[in-house]
Structure 1
Amino acid sequence: MAVENYGVLKGTVHDTRREVDFDTPHYQVDVIGEDGTHYRCAINVMSSSAESEVLYYADDDFNASEITHLQNLQNGYTPIRENEANQRIALDYVRGNLFDPTKMIPLPHEVTGENNDLNDFIETYMNEAKKENAAIYVYGSRFGPENKKDKIFGFEPTNGMHNIHMNQGNSGKWKQDNGVYHDGGILIQFKDYWVAIFLAFLTQSWCTDQNGDPIRFCAFTEPDKEFE
């Protein structure tokens, strides 16, 4: 079925918040899109499954030519649908040759100290993006708008992005989210370089079929011979 309302949000970072009072905390980012519209981007920093962890990889010199025409997008949310021209800007961790998955590492979401957990690393990039007024591209599923205040930032209507992570290779409860060219992630366009942030879950398979369903369990440390 794949995640619903898949697309990319382009805007600038306005505010950030660590979410610590929930069973599955997120790192929350308030992004301003078109005409001053606020979007809350909920980034998973902890798995809801005790058997899984969040995998993380950041590329500080990402080759944006792999995602063509991204810079031409207007601020705001752009849906990405199959068989349309903008399909070329979709993310697929398995097929897109975007990064080496063996470089992904499992990280805890919150550990005492500086620069040693997932919240710290994401926050560093978000603060730099805010400081430089850099364009940020958030891939995932849109939610809202709903005619109520946002639960984190208080803007109204609530509106935003979630599923900002790999969206294929799931089994069981999350299998309905599987799809190809439907993966989430974050790209930041600084003046002279791009940063890319990729997130996945340890229990997801990297060997997937044309529907994004696992062919067999193939961990992120195992080269995927079927798609080389």
Structure 2
Amino acid sequence: MTVENYGVLKGIVHDTKREVDFDTPHYQVDVIGENNTHYRCAINVMSSSAQSEVLYYADDHFNASEITHLQNLQNGYTSLHEDAANHRIALDYVRGHLFDPAKMIPLPHEVTGENNDLNDFIEKYMTKAKKESAPVYIYGSKFGPENQKDKIFGFEPTNGMHNIHMNQGNSGRWKKDNGIYHDGGIFIQFHDDWVAIFLAFLTQSWCTDKKGDPIKFCGFTEPHKEYE
């Protein structure tokens, strides 16, 4: 089926919050898009499966020549479904060759101390983005608007992005989210450099067919290739 309402949100970081009191905590980011519209971006920092962890990789000097087209987007949400004219800018971790998956590392979401868990690393980049008013580009699935206050930041109506991670290679209950060129991720456009943040789950396969379904299980550290 693939994730619904897949696209990219462009905006400026307004606020952040660690969500630690729920079964599947997220790092929450309040991004302002078009016409002062607020979006809550829910970034997974913990898996709902006891057998899985969140994999993380950040490139502090991402090759901007691959994503210069993002700068031309207007603030706000842009749909990237197959029938959209700008589907070409959608993300695919397996086929896009954006990074070496072997560089991803599994991280706990919250550990006592500094710079040692996923919340810490994401917060570092979001804090800098807020301070410098750097444009952020959040790939994932849009939700809302819903006629109620946002449960984290209190703005109304609630509105935002989730599935900000790899969205293929799933088995079981999450198989319905599989699709190629439907992966989530984060790009931040600083003055001198682009930062790219990629997230996946340890249980996802990197050997997928043209529907994004796993052909076999191959982990992020194993050799893998594009399957037709």
Q: TM-score range by the shorter chain?
A: over 0.9
Give the equivalent residue in structure 1 for 2:207: 207
Cα 1:117–1:225 shift into 2, 3 Å = same
The 5-angstrom pairing of residues 164-203 of structure 1 reads 164-203=164-203
The answer to whether the Cα contact below 8 Å between 1:90 and 1:183 also exists between their aligned partners in 2 is yes
Measured in 2, the distance between the counterparts of 1:226 and 1:23 equals 34
Q: Which moved more, 1:59-68 or 1:163-172?
A: 59-68
State the Cα deviation string for residues 95-140 of structure 1 (Å, max 9, x = none).
0010000000000000000000000000000000001100000000
- The question of whether the paired residues in 2 share the 8 Å contact of 1:67 and 1:88 is answered with no
| CA–CA separation in structure 2 for the residues paired with 1:130 and 1:7 | 22
Classify the secondary structure of the residue corresponding to 2:123: helix
Q: What does 1:121-140 align with in structure 2 at a 5 Å threshold?
A: 121-140=121-140
On the 8 A contact 2:94/2:226 being kept in 1, the answer is no
Q: SS state of the match for residue 141, structure 1?
A: strand
Cα deviation for residue 10 of structure 1 reads 0.1
Deviation at 1:225, TM superposition (A): 3.5
- Give the alignment's TM-score, normalised by structure 1: 0.98
Q: Secondary structure at the match of 1:40?
A: strand
- Counterpart of 2:99, as a letter, is F
Aligned to 1:34: 34
Deviation at 1:226, TM superposition (A): 4.1
Q: Which amino acid aligns with 2:111?
A: V
TM-score by length of 2: 0.98
Q: CA–CA distance in 2 between the matches of 1:51 and 1:110?
A: 17
Q: CA RMSD in A?
A: 0.9
For the Cα contact (< 8 Å) 2:169–2:204, is it kept in 1?
A: yes
- String of CA shifts for 1:168-222, please: whole Å, max 9, x gaps: 0000000000000000000000011100000000000000000000010000000
**How far is the alpha carbon of 1:85 from its aligned partner?**
2.5
Q: Which amino acid in the other structure matches residue 70 of structure 2?
A: L
Task: Work out the CA distance in 1 between the residues paired with 2:67 and 2:223.
Answer: 23
**Which 5+ residue runs of structure 2 have no aligned equivalent?**
none
- CA deviation digits over 1:34-68, x for unaligned, max 9? 01000000000000000000000000001122235
CA distance in 2, matches of 1:76, 1:111: 34
Q: How many residues align?
A: 227
Moved over 4 A (4+): none
Q: 1:162 is matched with which residue?
A: 162
Separation (CA, whole Å) in 1 of partners of 2:120 and 2:174: 27
Distance in 1 (CA, whole Å) between partners of 2:54 and 2:93 is 15
AA matched with 2:197:
I
Report what 1:71 is aligned to.
71
- For structure 1, list consecutive stretches of 5 or more residues without a partner in the other structure: none
The CA distance in 2 between the partners of 1:134 and 1:58, in whole Å, is 17
For 1:109-124, list aligned pairs within 5 A. Answer: 109-124=109-124
Aligned: 1:60 with 2:60: yes
Which whole-Å CA distance do the structure 2 matches of 1:203 and 1:225 have between them?
17
Partners of 2:167 and 2:83 lie apart in 1 by 19
Percent sequence identity over matched residues? 84
* Matching of residue 20 in structure 1 with residue 8 in structure 2: no
Deviations 1:136-175 (A, max 9, x none): 0000000000010000000000000000000000000000
SS of structure 1 residue aligned to 2:77: strand
1:70 counterpart SS class: helix
State the one-letter code of the partner of 1:77.
Y
